[in-house]
Amino acid sequence: MIDQKEIKIREEQLFKVFNNVNDWLKFAEAKNAMLIAFNGASIFGSIKLLNLEYIKSSDFLEGYFFFVIICLVFSTVNCLISFAPRVKIIKGGFYDSGKIPNVLFFEYLKGKSNLEIIEEITGDGKSDQYTALEKDIAEQIKQNSIIASRKYSHFTISVWITISSYITLPLAGIFCIYTYLSN
């Protein structure tokens, strides 16, 4: 016979992990939204700089700012891709199984089945006694973990693209000073 109190405890444990994964998901979305806003402001500023006579007179600086704008646009598009809705069950997940187990971390959970998630969270191996709700919560934990992982991947790529557009800024500044002093 299935103990209702035991089921309730397992469900509460699963909901705690589910809420934790959802918090990671919200954090990933907030970071992507922030980078979109930052990139948008940077694109606007770069376009304004292109209208300066000094920039227009230098092919190098004009080309540099076009490069910056292109990088920022790619970064922004990549961030926007992370907001594409995922409403179907996602198959698979990439996880290095050599990492330390952590049932509160989405990267660890995304590689587990719903039964493995329940067993790791509750600490029991009574898979024949799990309710449909417990299995559904665990499956949703897995799905949200996969989505959070993908959002963080898009964010990481976008940050590096943004950094690559700004890392060259000192070079452009040096060239700008050099050409100014040469004239």
| Chain segment 60-82, per-residue pLDDT in tens | 888 888 989 999 998 998 888 87
Read off the pLDDT band of 91 (50, 70, 90). low
Say if residue 86's pLDDT is above 60: no
Residue of 181, 182, 183, 178 whose CA lies nearest to 61: 178
In percent, the amount of the chain with pLDDT more than 70 equals 90
Q: Are 147 and 90 in contact (CB under 8 A)?
A: yes
d(CA 134, CA 33): 33
Q: What is the end-to-end Cα distance of the chain in Å, rounded?
A: 90
How confident is the model at residue 143, as a pLDDT? 92
From the number of C-beta atoms within 10 Å of its C-beta (0-12, 13-18, 19+), residue 1 rates as: exposed
